Amino acid sequence: MSVGSACDHGEWAAEGRYEGDTRPSSPLSFRPEPGNLAGVRHIVLVLSGKGGVGKSTISTELALALRHAGKKVGILDVDLCGPSIPRMLRAQGRAVHQGDSGWVPVFVDREQSISLMSVGFLLEQPDEAVVWRGPKKNALIKQFVSDVAWGQLDYLLVDTPPGTSDEHMAVVDALRPHSPLGALVVTTPQAVSVGDVRRELTFCRKVGLRVIGLVENMSGFVCPHCSECTNVFSKGGGEELARHAGVPFLGSVPLDPELTRSLEDGRDFIQDFPDSPAFPALSSIAQKILSETPAGLS
């Protein structure tokens, strides 16, 4: 299936929703059938008000860490203009198929413990640009939420683009009836990033989305030779923001060349580099996400 055929259907759906639709506009005024999300236990959105802070990196490594904790994980990549997760999981070039219940996501491992849906699988050419206005993006996001047959999942991670606009409102509205566990907010330490991410926390409050916690990514560079840490982008901005905003601080992930190479090559960093300085930080974040799950629902 190509992005053209997907958006043709989505565009039709969007016209019914945005023009002359008499159904209640508030997602809280009706509760749709669970449909393809019926087997998904917990939904976590990965957000940031700033681009380039590593949301896709955190989403990918969190999925791998949860898999190693014995969980089945899905990743919904709604960064429509910059779908990078297929490469990070060495799944680029794979095809999405239509099944009896909807689109079948791409499984990235033989055990089928991580499944992935991304607009990157719908592009006819890898360098093709997605040049869409808001309603068309919103329609595809809603279609991703309703039409992907995830099956049984412990966690669905939703990797979002930066900002607080159309795509974010579309995904929050589409997922709200399914009671997301909350949002994981990512920043880097420097003040310019923290300022934008502060607006993301405001967005979460305005739309009623619970913040699970905040992660400071790229928090210092640990030299692989002498183990000295250099704070390339300053340090502590994320932790200070979390304290001022009254949200949990989940940890600081340092820069690590091995992590970068793992993402470029589509390798399992959590499995291959347990001695990396980034490993305990990423593992701790995954454990804190797991601890958010009530014992009876895990």
70 backbone dihedrals φ, ψ, rounded to 5° = 90, 15
User: Using only C-alpha atoms, what is the Rg of the chain?
Assistant: 19
222 marked ligand binding residue: no
163 marked ligand binding residue: no
237 marked ligand binding residue: no
Single-letter amino acid, residue 215 = V
35 marked ligand binding residue: no
* % helix, strand, coil for the chain, step of 5: 40, 20, 35
55 marked ligand binding residue: yes
| Residue 92 CB-half CA count within 13 A | 14
Q: Look up residue 105 and give its DSSP letter.
A: P
93 marked ligand binding residue: no
52 marked ligand binding residue: yes
What residue has token string 């600081």? 252
**Distance (Å, rounded) from C-alpha 11 to C-alpha 285?**
38
Q: Of 23, 73, 76, whose CA–CA distance to 45 is shortest? A: 76
Other C-beta atoms closer than 10 Å to the C-beta of 33 total 9
Distance of CA 180 to CAs 4, 143, 149, 197, Å? Answer: 30, 17, 18, 20
137 marked ligand binding residue: no
Q: Look up residue 276 and give its DSSP letter.
A: S
Distance of CA 5 to CAs 98, 130, 144, 237, Å? Answer: 12, 14, 13, 44
229 marked ligand binding residue: no
By the 10 Å C-beta count (0-12 exposed, 13-18 middle, 19+ buried), 136 is classed as middle
53 marked ligand binding residue: yes
Instruction: Classify 263 as helix, strand or coil.
Output: helix
Binding-site positions: 49-56, 223, 226
| Residues of each annotated binding site for ATP | 49-56
Binding-site residues for [4Fe-4S] cluster sit at 223, 226
